Structure 1
């Protein structure tokens, strides 16, 4: 199992179907778990997917339309009943704080979870940790909405052959990584001599928006872009009216931004053949395209 993967819990848009639940996406990132936009039925989908309430460290809501948040009560109640360890951080648009309060306390329960709320008031970094940083960027929909971007810091990959050639071994390797140089015999070995740059990975999450600068900012150089493609291009007028994206528009973003893996989701119930989304996107973007289905597990591409 990849230690960095997207677990898809739901892929419908306004109305669920027989095969698509409301939204829900868990990003596993090493030991971190980020649950994005839990719509109605997410708690049950987590059971089907083998996802525990203890897997969630961050709860990230893009906006307060029901298909993106009505699963919050069940998820939070489950966290309490399972006695989730440690704090869970909830991120959501500050303008919807009253809605989050209603969802969090939608019914009586034994409230044992430490759920720390972090309302988002504007663009910027909203969390930091060993994983890097989590940013929020404003998008354009009928109500306030933010997308999310996880950024791992750049690092260096050690080169075993170069280490051996220059006699760097054992504790000296760790010292070299920490200090940037180490003395071996009669010479100083610099980190750059025995390593190469390793770009940090990028993950972007975009829901319910029309094309805007924020979409491109989130998607820039992303290893994985999870993005709504509610409509096909034949219904571009509806997409514009309701401030959503088409599969072709999502693919254009991926192509322009150098995305490696494009994950399409949030499909209108009016379409019954998911292959049409792939075909439309493939005409614009020649990278990896995944038309998400409920309970898919999609690995984040290996580091470049």
Structure 2
């Protein structure tokens, strides 16, 4: 199992199809699981994908249209049924707090797990941890909507040949990383002497929105961008009217923002052939391109 990967649970938009479930995406990031937009059927898709309730550490809701949240009651109840022992924060637009509470208690169940409401009121950091910082950025849809970005802090990559040259080995390598400097014999070795700058990785999640500044902000420098492409460009006017993107628009964002891997999803049922989305996006974006299918796994690209 990859340390950093996207598990796609569903790829449909408003109406599911025979081959596409409603939305659902689990990001595994160094042992921390972020579940995004669990639509109807997410519990069952988790079973098919080999994902358990214990794999969910955070739940992130972009907005409260049904295809992005109607699986939430089952997921939250499953946390209690499986007795997940740690608190699970749920991040969601603050304007939808009433919707969240209704979904949380949509039916009777024994609530054992601790679900923590984390309403998002404005752009900025949502939470931090060993994984980095989860940020929210407002988007332009028909109701209040936020996209999310996971940002790993920059670090240092240790160089074995330089470590050997100055005599730092074994547990002392970790001590040097933590302290920033280490006394070796009659001199002090700094971490800068034996390492190079390592840019942190970025993951971005963009759902229902028109093109807006927030889309580009979220996608900027992303190693992996998951983005809706509900429509094809021939229906761009319809996309704008309903607050959505086309495959060409999503690809343009990826190309302009230096995205390494572009994952298209949230497809309208009006288009039976997914190759159309690939061809439209590939004409604009020449990086790694994935037209998502249910239950696929997409690894976060390795560090540069």
Q: TM-score, normalised by structure 1?
A: 0.98
Deviation at 1:182, TM superposition (A): 2.0
SS in 2 for 1:78: helix
Equivalent residue number for residue 85 of structure 1? 85
Equivalent residue number for residue 35 of structure 2? 35
Q: How does 1:192-231 map to 2 (within 5 A)?
A: 192-231=192-231
Equivalent residue number for residue 8 of structure 2? 8
SS in 2 for 1:117: strand
Equivalent residue number for residue 279 of structure 1? 279
Deviation at 1:184, TM superposition (A): 2.2
Mapped partners of 1:173, 1:148: distance in 2: 35
Equivalent residue number for residue 290 of structure 1? 290
Mapped partners of 1:156, 1:13: distance in 2: 41
Q: How does 1:233-248 map to 2 (within 5 A)?
A: 233-248=233-248
Mapped partners of 2:124, 2:298: distance in 1: 27
Worse overlay, 150-159 or 174-183: 174-183
Equivalent residue number for residue 97 of structure 1? 97
Mapped partners of 1:109, 1:187: distance in 2: 64
Mapped partners of 1:231, 1:160: distance in 2: 50
Residue deviations 1:250-285 (CA, integer Å, cap 9, x gap): 000000100000000000000011111111111111
Residue deviations 1:82-137 (CA, integer Å, cap 9, x gap): 11110000000111111111111111111111000011111010101111100000
Q: How does 1:66-145 map to 2 (within 5 A)?
A: 66-145=66-145
Root mean square deviation, CA, Å = 0.9
Mapped partners of 1:171, 1:25: distance in 2: 38
Mapped partners of 1:27, 1:226: distance in 2: 10
Worse overlay, 31-40 or 169-178: 169-178
Deviation at 1:191, TM superposition (A): 1.3
Equivalent residue number for residue 169 of structure 1? 169
Deviation at 1:189, TM superposition (A): 2.1
Which consecutive segments of 4 or more residues in structure 1 shift more than 4 A?
Answer: none
Residue deviations 1:44-77 (CA, integer Å, cap 9, x gap): 0001001001110101000000000000011111
Mapped partners of 1:259, 1:10: distance in 2: 22
Q: TM-score, normalised by structure 2?
A: 0.98
SS in 2 for 1:90: strand
Equivalent residue number for residue 264 of structure 2? 264
Deviation at 1:169, TM superposition (A): 1.5
The runs of 5 or more residues in structure 2 that have no matched partner are: none
